[in-house]
Structure 1
Amino acid sequence: MSKLIHQINKGLAHEIMKKIDNFLFDCDGVLWHGSQVIPGAPEAVQKLKRLGKKIYYVTNNSSKTRLQIVEKCQKLGFPADMESIVCTAHATAQYLKSMNFEGKVYLVGNSSMAAEMDALGIKYVGLGADHVSDDHGGLDDIVKFQSDWKPDPEVNCVVVGFDPHHSYMKMLKAATYAKNRNNLFLATNEDPFLPTKGEVCVPGMFMSLGIQ
């Protein structure tokens, strides 16, 4: 797929300033890397704000609540408030709220996703560690566990995001709920890998979940 690239010069920048009132910025890798800002990014966003432009921060990083992103923006020199943040943890909970969701979510996620659901009264299960016990170490034991485990009948949605406690048990349960075509399946992002610096590779959720 070809990409159309425009080289920004001073004249084009002035035209953009005249015609555009709302600016949406991705965060990770665009405004900052980890805890380090991209040189010049805070000053550019501050300038836009002084010109009366509306600034929005958009991220598919599900491991942060809107409040956490506001705090990070302000710490790094970016003007931000709750209304200027669009993040998948909040968007997922807001989507469920907007459709008058009833029942429970099986959450393959993190505490920030849970906090956004708590704020909107969305019930969920599955948060935290859920490991294979020593008594279920082989395939035969897993199959037996599967026959013994009873799915929660109130769960009618699977939500998947970044989960630092991902395990085979969580994959088994999520796949069981997602197999029911009457249940919702929501994903906060499709990254096969998370954008990080250094040699360590951080797999994204779909690589480890095993749900197609």
Structure 2
Amino acid sequence: MFTLISSLSKSFSYCGENALRSIRMSIKNLASLSRDEVKNLFSSIDTILTDCDGVLWLHMKILPGAPDVLNKFREMGKRVFYITNNNVITREEFCVKCDKLGFTSTKDDVLTTSYLTACYLHDIGFKKKVYVVGTSGISRELSRLGIRSFGVGPDPLISDVATLVMKDFKLDPDVGAVIVGFDEYISYPKILKAASYLNHPDCLFIATNTDERGPSFINDCVIPAHDWKLCCLIAFRSLKT
């Protein structure tokens, strides 16, 4: 089983074809609307969903006018949700970042894929361990809901693959899920362990998102995300007998 926990702001898979067609037909350039049309539009909206990186900010650089717009929506009585597939930090840490950048938020306004992943496992009554190819943002959200996990942090290849497999390799029989997110410490041992756990048919395979590259504020710098790791593991799982 492969499950993708993806940002709501980037997915319209729950909309039917007719609904999507209606959305496309109703899209307008706000700058072209009259004052009354703008007033009527915002009067009809109760809830705002917004992505974050590249929409409100880029790392710690605020995009012009973003805090003023979001905070004005709150003054107007609108509910604002921050939707992000950033799995590096917890919701509380996300709120700290919002505060530093001038955005009003509480943790109940924040939906991250690490939090949603933890909620998903909790809701299905998951009782086993999780092998995490990702960051402590994932493991901490899991821990808060009583879900055991391991794998976060460096796991380098100490000598060679033969030594890893013949001497150092050992699977935990209590692992029932593999979660894959952004991992700056990705290594061959981590891919090997994740693929080996996923070789068991009952092991859940969960991805926090499928970004191919991360946002960068430095010209000519490409920041690989983790879609390539997913491709590897999906390929391994599809080839198993």
Over the aligned positions, Cα root-mean-square deviation in angstroms equals 1.8
Hey, what does 2:210 align to over in structure 1? Answer: 190
* Shift in Å, 1:173: 0.3
Question: 5+ unaligned residues in a row in structure 2: which ranges?
Answer: 1-20, 235-241
Q: Counterpart of 2:142 in 1: which secondary structure?
A: helix
Distance verdict in 2 for CA 1:208–1:201, change over 3 Å: farther
Q: Counterpart of 2:223 in 1: which secondary structure?
A: coil
Aligned residues: 205
Q: Is 2:178–2:197's contact at 8 Å kept on the other side of the alignment? A: yes
Hey, what does 1:139 align to over in structure 2? Answer: none
Hey, what does 2:135 align to over in structure 1? Answer: 110
Q: Counterpart of 2:108 in 1: which secondary structure?
A: helix
Q: Counterpart of 1:39 in 2: which secondary structure?
A: coil
2: CA distance, partners of 1:145 / 1:32? 42
2: CA distance, partners of 1:33 / 1:173? 33
2:165 pairs with 143, 146, 154, which one? 146
After TM superposition, the score normalised by the length of structure 2 is: 0.80
Q: Does residue 1:51 correspond to 2:72, yes or no?
A: no
Hey, what does 1:8 align to over in structure 2? Answer: 30
2:200 pairs with 164, 180, 199, which one? 180
1:165-204 Cα offsets, whole Å, 9 max, x none, are 1100000000111122211000001001112221221111
Q: Counterpart of 2:141 in 1: which secondary structure?
A: helix
More displaced, 6-15 or 70-79? 6-15
Question: 5+ unaligned residues in a row in structure 1: which ranges?
Answer: 137-141
Hey, what does 2:107 align to over in structure 1? Answer: 82
Q: Is 2:87–2:113's contact at 8 Å kept on the other side of the alignment? A: yes
Q: Does residue 1:202 correspond to 2:227, yes or no?
A: no
Hey, what does 1:39 align to over in structure 2? Answer: 64
* Shift in Å, 1:6: 2.2
Q: Counterpart of 2:189 in 1: which secondary structure?
A: helix
1:117-155 Cα offsets, whole Å, 9 max, x none, are 111111012111111112x1xxxxx25633552311000
More displaced, 110-119 or 154-163? 110-119
Q: Counterpart of 1:16 in 2: which secondary structure?
A: helix
Percent identity between the two aligned chains: 37
2: CA distance, partners of 1:208 / 1:107? 13
2: CA distance, partners of 1:187 / 1:147? 29
Question: Which aligned segments of 4 or more residues in structure 1 are displaced greater than 6 angstroms?
Answer: none
1:55-98 Cα offsets, whole Å, 9 max, x none, are 10000011111001111111111110011000011111111111
Q: Is 2:139–2:150's contact at 8 Å kept on the other side of the alignment? A: no
